[in-house]
């Protein structure tokens, strides 16, 4: 069974985690607690240091939401951990698990912290190609046995950023659980887009697969579902053991999510589903306007079933110059900003990601500007392709 990293073992549990635990127990037993433990003056509860793993109400509400939405049952006390956004959680998961040189399996292309978190942890990345012809799913059978045996962590993300790929049902996740059991590795499924889905598609949770909770965790975010990207709130849930490693690691670094933001998260999760439906409707409208508008300009791009992105293969004529040069020229000549695919890993070359995050009328403007741009001859821009298509250079 995968343990945590040596550095985490070397550190005893954070002293104040223990003291805080005892303090909570004393409150529960209705002892008259006089708290001189933490360096904060008398303030309303929302000003104090938060409970680092998340206040009980936050963890309970997150667990209730998973039960309602996916039929997944979690123990909020031991299987849910508040995060300062899932980006933070994934980076710290890698640090909590990996010793220098240990291997993680990461999609290519992928959301940058999947790779960067592993590198910052001193780990090694083995890229799993995500190819259009394989619905952007990794081919687990193609992973060399020696690599699978060495790997300690597998990072996944469906609905996927940047490719917008989805899993139709639990078939792939079941394969993942079997693979993780066979090779004894930890799975982290990053699931921030599960509610941003279109045309009746409903995204599953990795934790719906029997046995998933034993080997993995899943990360959820308020950033996309509730438009709270700048609030920095999310959570990790699943395996008590793995959640515990991340909780311990974080206890040496941060104090968790500020209480008032946790309470905002609780309100969001308890809000009527119509709130999210309204957001989804807006993205779907923009998606249709954009995809159809591009098609009229002769740029055929797939219609995403989920996420707020369009993953667009470069127009044939521009392919040779690469995604970075294309994106650079586009911004310089038209003011339109897109994310070059190579920023998400070498496998993202040949694509750009467009985010549906501006006002409807701006898409109209963008189409007018693109019309002129696409009529021009591509100009070769030597040297602007980036060092070997290195990822991590651009916006996420
Ligand atoms: C796949 C994926 N994971 C995680 C994140 C970060 O989410 P959060 O705001 O919760 O840190 C993003 C944001 O773009 C993302 O696309």
Residue 113 scores a pLDDT above 60: yes
CA of 23 to the centre of ligand 1 (A): 34
Q: Is the CB of 50 within 6 Å of ligand 1?
A: no
Confirm whether 394 is domain-assigned: no
- At 41 the pLDDT is 54
pLDDT tens by residue, 175-222: 999 999 999 999 999 999 999 999 999 999 999 999 999 999 999 999
Ligand 1 centroid, distance to 53 Cα (angstroms) = 19
Beta strands in 162-265 (DSSP E): 186-190, 216-221, 234-238
Interval between CA 182 and ligand 1 midpoint (Å): 29
Please determine, for residue 35, whether its predicted confidence score (pLDDT) is greater than 90: no
Query: Sorting pLDDT into bands at 50, 70 and 90, what band is 39?
Result: low
Domain membership flag for residue 105? yes
pLDDT digits (tens, 9 = 90+) for 228-279: 999 999 999 999 999 999 999 999 999 999 999 999 999 999 998 889 999 9
Residues 189 and 312 both lie in one domain: no
Q: Whose CA is nearest to atom 6 of ligand 1?
A: 87
326 lines ligand 1 (CB under 6 A): no
Q: Which phi and psi (to 5°) does residue 354 adopt?
A: -110, 130
Q: Give me the mean pLDDT over the 279-298 stretch.
A: 96
For residues 109-133, give the mean pLDDT.
Answer: 96
Cα angle 168, 169, 175; round to 5: 115
Last residue of a domain, one of 270, 303, 332: 270
Mean pLDDT of the chain: 91
Domain co-membership, 285 together with 243 = no
Q: Number of folded domains in the chain? A: 2
Is the minimum distance from the CB of 87 to ligand 1 under 6 angstroms? Answer: yes
Contact (Cβ atoms closer than 8 angstroms) between residue 108 and residue 128: yes
Which atom of ligand 1 lies at the shortest distance from residue 90's CA? 4
pLDDT at 395: 40
Of 226, 247, 270, which one is at a domain's C-terminal end? 270
**Helix, strand, or coil (residue 326):** helix
Judgement on whether residues 259 and 295 belong to the same structural domain of the protein: no
Test site for ligand 1: of 83, 111, 160, 166, most ligand atoms within 8 A of the Cβ: 111
Return the CATH number at 27: 3.40.640.10
The percent of residues above 90 in pLDDT, for the chain, comes to 80
**How many other C-beta atoms lie within 10 A of the C-beta of residue 31?**
10
Rounded Cα–Cα distance for residues 292 and 73 (Å): 41
Task: Give domain status of residue 327, yes or no.
Answer: yes
- 149-175: average pLDDT: 98
Same domain, 208 and 332: no
pLDDT at 10 (0 to 100): 84
- Looking at 251, 270, 289, the residue that finishes a domain is 270
On the CB side of 97, how many CA atoms lie within 13 Å of its CA?
31
Domain of residue 306, CATH code? 3.90.1150.10
383 & 296 share domain? yes
Give the residue-averaged pLDDT of 61-69: 97
Structure tokens at 366: 């963008």
Q: Is 298 exposed, middle or buried (0-12, 13-18, 19+ CB in 10 A)?
A: exposed
138 plus 202 within the same structural domain: yes
Domain span at residue 319 reads 274-389
Show the 3-state SS of 35-82.
CCCCCCCCCCHHHCCCCCCCCHHHHHHHHHHHHHHHCCCCCCCCCEEE
Tell me, yes or no, whether 104 lies in a domain.
yes
pTM score: 0.91
Q: What is the pLDDT of residues 48-58, one digit of tens each?
A: 778 889 999 99
Judge if 120 and 205 occupy the same domain: yes
């Amino acid at each position: 069974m995968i343990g945590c990293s040596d550095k985490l073992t070397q550190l005893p549990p954070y002293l104040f985690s223990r003291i805080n635990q005892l303090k909570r127990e004393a409150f529960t037993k209705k002892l008259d607690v006089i708290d001189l433990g933490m360096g904060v003056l008398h303030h309303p509860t929302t000003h104090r240091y938060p409970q680092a793993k998340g206040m009980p109400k936050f963890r309970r509400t997150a667990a209730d939401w998973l039960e309602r939405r996916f039929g997944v049952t979690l123990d909020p006390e031991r299987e849910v951990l508040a995060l300062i956004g899932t980006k933070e959680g994934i980076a710290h998961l890698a640090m909590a698990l990996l010793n220098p040189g240990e291997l993680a399996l990461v999609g290519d292309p992928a959301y940058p912290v999947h790779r960067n978190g592993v590198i910052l942890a001193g780990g090694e990345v083995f890229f799993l190609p995500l190819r259009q012809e394989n619905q952007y799913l990794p081919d687990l059978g193609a992973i060399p046995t020696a690599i699978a045996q060495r790997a300690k962590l597998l990072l996944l993300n469906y609905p996927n950023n940047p490719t917008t790929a989805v899993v139709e049902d639990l078939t792939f996740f079941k394969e993942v659980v079997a693979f993780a059991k066979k090779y004894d590795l930890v799975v982290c499924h990053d699931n921030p887009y599960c509610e941003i889905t279109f045309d009746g598609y409903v995204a599953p949770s990795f934790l719906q697969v029997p046995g998933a909770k034993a080997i993995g965790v899943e990360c959820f975010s308020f950033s996309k579902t509730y438009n709270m990207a700048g609030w920095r709130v999310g959570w990790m849930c699943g395996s008590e053991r793995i959640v515990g490693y991340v909780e311990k690691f974080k206890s040496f670094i941060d104090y968790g999510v500020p209480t008032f933001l946790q309470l905002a998260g609780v309100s969001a999760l308890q809000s009527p589903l119509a709130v999210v439906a309204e957001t989804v409707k807006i993205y779907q409208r923009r998606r249709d306007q954009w995809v159809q508008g591009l098609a009229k300009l002769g740029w055929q791009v797939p219609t995403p079933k989920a996420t707020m992105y369009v993953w667009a293969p470069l127009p044939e004529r521009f392919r040779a110059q690469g995604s970075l040069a294309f994106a650079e020229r586009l911004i310089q000549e038209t003011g339109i900003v897109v994310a070059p695919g190579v920023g998400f890993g070498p496998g993202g070359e040949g694509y750009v990601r467009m985010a549906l995050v501006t006002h409807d009328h701006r898409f109209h403007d963008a189409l007018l500007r693109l019309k002129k741009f696409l009529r021009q001859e591509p100009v070769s821009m030597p040297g602007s392709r980036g060092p070997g298509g290195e990822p991590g250079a651009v916006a996420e």
